[in-house]
Amino acid sequence: MGDLDFLNFEQPAKIKVLFVDDEKSILVALRRLCRNTGWDIYTAESGDEGLAIIDEHTIDLVVSDMRMPKMNGAEFLEQVVERSPSTVRILLTGYSEVTATLAAIDKGKIFCHCTKPWDNDEFKEILNQAIESR
Q: What is the tens place of the pLDDT at every residue in 120-134?
A: 999 999 999 999 997
Question: How many Å apart are CA 34 and CA 43, to the nearest integer?
Answer: 12
pLDDT tens for residues 57-111? 999 999 999 889 999 998 999 999 999 999 999 998 876 666 666 666 777 788 8
Return d(Cα 77, Cα 66) in angstroms, integer: 9
- Inter-residue contact 60 to 88 (CB < 8 Å): yes
- Phi and psi angles of residue 61, each rounded to the nearest 5 degrees, phi first: -140, 135
Q: What is the reported pTM?
A: 0.86
| Cβ atoms 68, 21 nearer than 8 A | yes
Which CATH code is given to the segment(s) 12-133?
A: 3.40.50.2300
The residue extents of the domains of the chain are 12-133
All residues at 6 or more sequence positions from 1 whose CB lies less than 8 Å from its CB, including other chains: none
